[in-house]
Amino acid sequence: MPRRLAAPHLTDRRAAGGGGRGDGQKRRTRAAILAAAARLLADGHEPSVAEAADAADVSRRTAYRYFPTQDQLLVEASLEGLRPQVEAAMLAALPDGSEGGDDVARAAARLDAAVRVLHRLTQENEALLRTMIRLTTGQVGRPRPPRGYRRIDWLTSAVAPVRMRLGPARFTRLVSALASCVGMDAQFVLQDVRGLSPRSAERVTRWTARALLDASVAEAGRPA
């Protein structure tokens, strides 16, 4: 039977800062709007926010809270289409037998796979991702549209094997720390500010991610 990448359990998401029942409803509403927009895009139509709301059976007012502009909706809908690719690539990148062994070894293998896959997809979709950053930042005086929830899902799933070892507080901190150094924001900083090549940026990110995992595990093993 083919392996499947387990979605983060509700308790994993809460431990990673995902919140409770209200946050879950918001995620479902947002996902429904994106799914409707993606379907319309697949049919060759670039939907407005209002059209996506109607197709998702969500009020237009609610849809505009999540996606203030059509540009942001279209970029996010396009990125959501990458989710199956990322999850399939993470599974393919896991070495044979990585699901056995101890929890730290499994988490390390899954995390390294996630970093490499996210790095590759960032390179392949750089223009789209830079557009999303432009559309979701710099809005002084207005609430910033949320982004990055896909990254949190993938990182939470990657390090899930050590959740029990670390406990809720350390697990939350690990996912937060990883989110700050894995993904498009960190990759663009390494390339734009540090002047690293994509290959060098990937090596730095893989090293940083493993260092954070090792530090969290070592801290959990020390007596209080």
**CATH code at position 35:** 1.10.357
Please indicate, yes or no, if residue 47 is contained in any of the structural domains. Answer: yes
Domain annotation covers residue 4: no
Structural domain including 186 reads: 10-221
- Residue 86 falls within a domain, yes or no? yes
Note the pLDDT of residue 145: 54
Domain assignment present for residue 160? The answer is: yes
107 in a structural domain: yes
Q: Does 118 map to a domain?
A: yes
User: What average pLDDT values come out for the chain (224 residues) when binned by 10 residues?
Assistant: 45 46 77 88 85 94 90 79 71 58 86 89 77 64 59 88 95 95 88 93 96 96 68
Tell whether 55 is covered by a domain: yes
pLDDT on residue 190: 92
pLDDT at 99: 55
Any domain includes 5: no
Q: What's the total number of domains in the chain?
A: 1
Q: Record the pTM.
A: 0.68
What's residue 169's pLDDT? 96
pLDDT at 21: 55
Nearest to 114 by CA among 202, 219, 1, 14: 202
